[in-house]
A and B are shown apart, each in its own frame.
Chain A
Amino acid sequence: MHMADALISPAVGGAMWAVSAGLIAYSAKKVREEADDRKVPLMGVLGAFIFAAQMINFSIPATGSSGHLGGGIILAIILGPYAAFLVMASVLIVQALFFADGGLLALGCNIFNLGFFPAFIAYPLIYRKIAGDALSSKRIMAGAVIAAIIGLQLGAFGVVLETVFSGISELPFRAFVLLMQPIHLAIGIVEGLVTAAVVTFVWKARPEILGAVNRPAAIGKVDTKRVLVGLLAVAALTAGALSWFASANPDGLEWAMFRISGKEELESIDPVHVSASRIQEKTAFLPDYGFKKTESAQVFTDVNSFEAAVKPSWPAVDPGTSVSGLVGGALTIGLVFLIGLLLRRRAPRTAV
């Protein structure tokens, strides 16, 4: 079940689209650099395989319900992380376009939840560490199960975060998390078992397939990409969650003005200022770092709910603020990268 557009706000959808598009471009570059001609038809056909395999429902033992394969980790084991990410992204695009399984705006979120976590986190950091070089059935089983569990937990958590940050669904964070994580734990175990069985089968029947994945980063060199990803994650976390704890009290300037003039913001009667502020009102996507409130009358049943609506609470768990924080953070990082890129082109390269 992939996320639908109806539950996503454009800010969250756009941000995740940017992240997924960046990852696709990066993975495509890496795949092109590998210059392995055989991968071209292999990726396509394996994508079709995953697509077809996801159509088959099997019954989950001891529950009586049915489930289907995800497939990200099997792909990563056979193709390597970059190609596997591209294949998962392509399968999700076809599912979104033809079966409307997941919206077009939510595609970025789905590609990230179902592609990034298995291919770039579960596979290299877990499966490879456990079952990387010395293969044995026990190691494959352990590696696949743990990788699948963690990959799916992260994916489910991603769904929760994206839905809560969009602010369309009323599901509170805690209830949603408590709902999603246990279900995906069970799904992860089953997926891990299936992955382990398939990989063991392939290893016993055609071991050369598993040995065909080349090792990317050299030992002893700090992987800058991983550091960047870590920094991005911290920035996202800070902007998203910690902005809730940003004080709702007026800042220094507003406080000073309030003491002096009795109002927190000066109103201007100058016609230029008035027209400019009117334009700003219409174009401000996230006015005052929150979502725009449309002019709808609110009927309150009693004084308490009225006060609760008017007085800002702390922590100000307003999805608008978190989204503003995330969007602002993403824009800032994007701007920084752009500046870094421009500067890099200007500076003459010294011969190595």
Chain B
Amino acid sequence: MNKINGNFLDIGYMDTLAGADSPVHRLDPRSKLITTLIFIVAVVSFDKYAISALLPFFIFPVVMISIAGLPARYILKKVLLISPFAILVAICNPFLDRNILFQIGGINISGGWVSFISILLRFFLTVTAALVLVASTGFNAVCLALSKLGLPKPFVMQLLFLYRYIFVLLEETERLSRARALRSFNNTAMKLTTFTSLISHLLLRTLDRAQRIYLAMCCRGFDGNVRLIRSMKKGRSEIIFVAGWAILFIILRYWNIPLYVGAFITRRSL
């Protein structure tokens, strides 16, 4: 029950964040989407032992969060919430890969631990980038950007409708769930038969609702064609944004800046 409520508020909050105003918010959603995708591809394309080369990539989410004025703690909390899965799969690496890669002060560091940290860094970067994209753009704008970039229209319509009705369905499900919980004494775990009965009734209600929505749309002139208003611009700031970040990512991908800086400093201090 709590899970539904928390998630329900969450989606709404992301939309609230996306409704703010900042230079990042004012950018065309396509540019933000493309930049995020280039970022993710660059981060993911490293080999499994890369750690220092990944660190400069943090500049993208940090800059975006700062300029857009997003709450960093909220995004951090969301990332930590889903990190158990990545940790669970990555934790096998130290046990399976025992090649000693290097030593720090007498302690042997195996390849498994290096790749474990690399996976965690990758996970952090990619998830933060995705959350920042939605929090600074909003779901509807992302869908319109996808449709302009070539996603087929029936699918975009499906996404928009889904988003529109998620709130309604979540509220309904929460009511059903709460009603069941209030009528069960100490039994907080739902039995399988109860669950199937619950969602069967929810399904029937959903189908009825779909019928009502369809009739309402027909009454308002629906002819099978959903028209989307796309107010998008392709200005200079968008091109500079995408090109600038893309060049930076390519540079960071092929040249390990922290390595050079570290070598420079240590040679100096010798």
Contact = CB atoms under 8 A, between A and B. Distances in A.
B192 to A, nearest CB: 6
A301 B100 contact: yes
Interface in A3-55: 4-10, 13-14, 24-25, 27-29, 31-32, 35, 37-38, 40-49, 51-53, 55
B253 to A, nearest CB: 11
A32 B198 contact: no
Contact of B166 (A1, A5, A32, A51): A51
Contacts of A305: 99
Interface stretch (B19-27, B61-69, B207-215, B227-235): B207-215
A299 B196 CA distance: 57
Residue among A1, A45, A60, A193 with most chain B CB within 10 A: A45
A105 B195 contact: no
A157 interface: no
Contacts of B193: 197
Contacts of B126: 4-6, 103-105
A10 B44 contact: yes
Contacts of A293: 47
B157 interface: yes
A186 B14 CA distance: 35
Nearest to A21: B151
A33 to B, nearest CB: 10
Contact of B130 (A48, A49, A56, A97): A97
Main SS of the interface on chain A? helix
Nearest to A105: B40
A291 interface: yes
A93 interface: yes
B3 to A, nearest CB: 6
A42 B40 contact: no
Interface residues of B, number: 100
Interface stretch (A166-174, A215-223, A340-348): A166-174
B260 interface: no
A6 B84 CA distance: 13
A337 interface: no
Interface string B6-23: 010011001000000000
Contacts of A40: 157, 161, 214, 217, 224, 226
A247 interface: no
Interface string B170-195: 10110001000000000001111111
B47 A291 contact: yes
A6 B122 contact: yes
B213 A45 contact: yes
B4 A55 contact: yes
A44 B224 CA distance: 14
A31 B156 CA distance: 13
B173 A53 contact: yes
Contacts of B195: 56, 58, 194
Given A24-B155, A48-B168, A282 B210 contact: no
Contacts of A51: 162, 166, 169-170
A38 B196 CA distance: 26
B29 to A, nearest CB: 12
Nearest to B92: A171
B199 interface: yes
B250 to A, nearest CB: 11
Nearest to B218: A37
Size range of the chain A interface in the assembly: 35 or more
Residue among B92, B196, B204, B222 with most chain A CB within 10 A: B196
Interface string B22-38: 00000000000000110
A292 B89 contact: no
A10 B45 contact: yes
B86 interface: yes
B263 interface: no
Given A5-B126, A47-B158, A209-B207, A57 B3 contact: yes
A193 B192 contact: yes
Interface in A103-141: 103-105
Given A41-B214, A98-B134, A48 B142 contact: no
A190 interface: yes
A4 B203 CA distance: 30
B79 interface: yes
Given A37-B224, A45-B209, A301-B100, A94 B89 contact: no
Contacts of B89: 4, 7, 163, 169, 171
Interface in A279-317: 282, 291-294, 296-299, 301, 305
- In the A-B complex, list the 5 residue pairs whose CB atoms are closest, starting with the nearest: A44-B161, A28-B152, A6-B123, A197-B196, A5-B126
Given A49-B169, A87-B162, A168-B122, 19 more contacts: A1-B85, A5-B40, A5-B126, A28-B152, A28-B153, A40-B217, A45-B210, A48-B169, A52-B172, A53-B202, A58-B191, A66-B189, A86-B158, A163-B89, A170-B92, A170-B115, A193-B192, A194-B195, A202-B204
14 contacts: A5-B44, A9-B45, A31-B154, A32-B152, A37-B218, A42-B210, A44-B210, A48-B206, A53-B202, A58-B194, A60-B192, A98-B10, A99-B10, A190-B192
